Amino acid sequence: MNKPDVKGQRLAAAFLLGCLLFNYPFMALFNRSDLVFGIPVLYVYVFVVWPLLIALLALVIERK
């Protein structure tokens, strides 16, 4: 298998993971009135998952 093909497949998989994590069922799990350090759980989820997804994309792109 060619390296650019593997990178493209990994980027597509990361995209699909991002779509899954930011889709209704997962977002609804965290849409509660509970607070984490005074911040709503949904906001914590979004602002934790988003940088992790960006880091995953950076890891895929920069990997040799």
7-55, pLDDT tens digit by residue? 999 999 999 999 999 999 999 999 999 999 999 999 999 999 999 999 9
41-62 vs 3-21: helix crossing angle, rounded to 10: 180
pLDDT given for residue 16 in this prediction: 97
Q: Which residues contact 40 (CB under 8 A, 6 or more apart)?
A: 32, 33, 34
Average pLDDT, the chain: 93
Q: Give burial (CB, 10 Å; 0-12/13-18/19+) of 5.
A: exposed
pLDDT given for residue 13 in this prediction: 96
Q: For residue 23, is it left (φ>0), alpha (ψ between -120 and 50) or beta? A: beta
